[in-house]
């Protein structure tokens, strides 16, 4: 078991205070958007044995377990994050495995560099993700029924939006959503900017259900994504509630602090609310044009006290434990790799010998059977496959622990 040293990603949309408050550190004044925990090559976590991606690369079966390597290959199949949105993220969708493989092959054949700003497919993997709120958390997830979207747009009383209202009423569901999103993204930019400005003024005046879109327009003035966002369900998660985002589902995170876990991929198609590249034809190929309930998830309790967020993917399994001080330790030993993240209070993790390097000495950052890690809020540890680990509350109050592992 290794204590992780993690990298903060300073994206412009990040909160300047949320992650420092959780970590108990002073804000720097700069945005701190995401704290990455894992072996992603863009920002691998550090361990006492070296960068986690290198540690896994040297002995994948020892670190991940034979079943995980057979199912997902010789790399950690998930990335765990703290995500702190102080401003809206881009409106986006992710491909399924087949779409990702086809798109990646086409861009490779076209000779598009993997780091090119107009590259859509950095790898061949899908990118399902789960976001679990630590504070009240606002987001957009999946299409509203066309009639509801039409009612929202009509309420703005903007003449240039009336053709979209008519389209939403006149077509079958899939055609209506497809035609309206296509028209919004393909419209003349100057004309659409004028429409967005007028719609934003109306949203500001009306407030209530329109308030999120007025906020979007303040962050992204004139962006057609402001109108596209009105086609989607607005969701406010309370702490402990979660959303699962599958392939083809348009979504955006707007505000709040959360734990996020995803398959290890960088494949993103953007719809708007961004200065980055928007590939409209490819986006329209990937989006699932169907209305859906956002499906707020609440954890399901197990007999051992672990609360599990049920999702339809094998690359990751996220659960939560609230560990009372003085209570019996909970055994979390697993056949696959694990990352343990404390988000409140303090948690102790006790390990016994596992697949670590021969002769590895226990101590404050790694265990050899007698060692113990104490994790404060925002701190995390990597547990190799098969290593026995037990966790318990530490200190005077309850400790909250999120556990990320694989299903295989």
All structural domains of the chain with their residue ranges: 7-140+235-286, 145-230, 300-405
Mean pLDDT within 383-399: 92
Q: What is the pLDDT of residue 164?
A: 97
**Residue 14 class from Cβ within 10 Å (0-12 exposed, 13-18 middle, 19+ buried)?**
buried
> In the prediction, which pLDDT does 208 show?
95
> Which two three-digit tokens encode residue 315?
């690359």
Provide the pLDDT for residue 358.
Answer: 39
| 208 DSSP 8-state letter | G
Cα distances from 319 to residues 80, 336, 338, 393, in angstroms, run: 12, 15, 11, 16
353-378 average pLDDT score? 60
Q: Residue 357: pLDDT above 80?
A: no
Q: Which residues of 195-219 are buried (b: 16+ CB within 10 A; e: fewer)?
A: bbebbbebbeeeeeebebbbbbbee
Q: What percent of the chain has pLDDT over 70?
A: 95
What would the mean pLDDT of 373-384 be, rounded to a whole number? 97
Q: Which positions ≥6 away from 407 have C-beta within 8 Å?
A: 313, 314, 315, 316, 317
* Max CA distance (Å), the chain: 74
Kindly report, residue by residue over 24-67, the tens digit of the pLDDT: 999 999 999 999 999 998 899 999 999 999 999 999 999 999 99
Share of the chain above pLDDT 90, in %: 87
Average pLDDT over residues 150-171: 96
pLDDT (average), residues 162-181: 94
Shared fold status for 7-140+235-286 and 300-405:
yes
Q: Which of 270, 317, 320, 403 is catalytic?
A: 270
**Do residues 45 and 5 make contact, with C-beta atoms less than 8 angstroms apart?**
yes
Task: Let me know if 288 is a catalytic residue.
Answer: no
CATH architecture for residues 300-405: Sandwich (2.60)
Cβ neighbours of residue 370 closer than 8 Å, sequence gap 6 or more: 362
pLDDT band at 365 (very low <50, low <70, confident <90, very high): low
| Concatenated DSSP letters of 121-172 | -SSS----EEEEESS-EEEEEEEPPHHHHHHHHHTT--GGGHHHHHHHHHS-
pLDDT at residue 408 in the model: 65
Contact predicate 248/287, CB 8 Å: yes
Residue 367: pLDDT band by 50, 70, 90 thresholds? very low
Write down the pTM of the prediction.
0.92
The CA distance from 46 to 48, in Å, is 7
- CATH number, domain 7-140+235-286: 2.60.120.10
């Amino acid at each position: 078991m290794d204590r992780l040293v993690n990298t903060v990603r300073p994206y412009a949309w990040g909160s300047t205070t949320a992650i420092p408050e959780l970590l108990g550190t002073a804000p720097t004044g700069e945005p701190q958007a995401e704290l990455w925990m894992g072996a992603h090559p863009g920002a691998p976590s550090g361990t006492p044995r070296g960068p986690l991606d290198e540690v896994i690369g040297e002995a994948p079966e020892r670190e991940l377990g034979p079943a995980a390597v057979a199912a997902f290959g010789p790399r950690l199949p998930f990335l765990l994050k703290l995500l702190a949105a102080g401003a809206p993220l881009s409106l986006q969708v992710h491909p399924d495995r087949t779409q990702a493989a086809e798109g990646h092959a086409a861009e490779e054949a076209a000779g598009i560099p993997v780091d090119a700003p107009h590259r859509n497919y950095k790898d061949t993997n899908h990118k399902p993700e789960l976001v679990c709120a630590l504070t009240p958390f606002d987001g957009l997830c999946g299409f509203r029924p066309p009639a509801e979207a039409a009612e929202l747009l009509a309420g703005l009383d903007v003449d240039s939006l009336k053709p979209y209202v008519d389209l939403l009423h006149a077509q079958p569901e899939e055609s209506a959503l497809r035609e309206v999103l296509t028209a919004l993204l393909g419209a003349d930019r100057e004309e659409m900017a004028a429409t967005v400005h007028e719609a934003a003024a109306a949203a500001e005046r009306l407030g209530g259900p329109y308030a999120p879109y007025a906020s979007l327009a303040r962050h992204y003035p004139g962006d057609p994504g402001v109108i596209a966002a009105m086609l989607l369900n607005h969701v406010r998660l309370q702490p402990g509630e979660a959303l699962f985002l599958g392939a083809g589902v348009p979504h955006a995170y707007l505000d709040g602090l959360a734990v996020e876990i995803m398959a290890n991929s960088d494949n993103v198609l953007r719809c708007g609310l961004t200065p980055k590249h928007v590939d409209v034809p490819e986006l329209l190929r990937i989006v699932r044009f169907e209305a859906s309930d956002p499906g707020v998830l609440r954890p399901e309790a197990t007999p051992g006290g672990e609360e599990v967020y049920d999702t339809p993917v094998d690359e990751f399994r996220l659960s939560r434990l609230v560990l009372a001080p003085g209570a019996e330790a909970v055994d979390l030993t697993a056949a696959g790799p694990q990352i343990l993240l404390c988000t409140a209070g303090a948690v102790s993790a006790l390990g016994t010998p596992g697949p670590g390097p021969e002769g590895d000495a226990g101590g404050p950052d790694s265990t050899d059977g007698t060692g113990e890690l104490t994790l404060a809020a925002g701190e995390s540890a990597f547990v190799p496959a098969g290593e026995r680990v037990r966790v318990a509350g530490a200190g005077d109050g309850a400790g909250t622990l999120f556990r990320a592992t694989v299903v295989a």
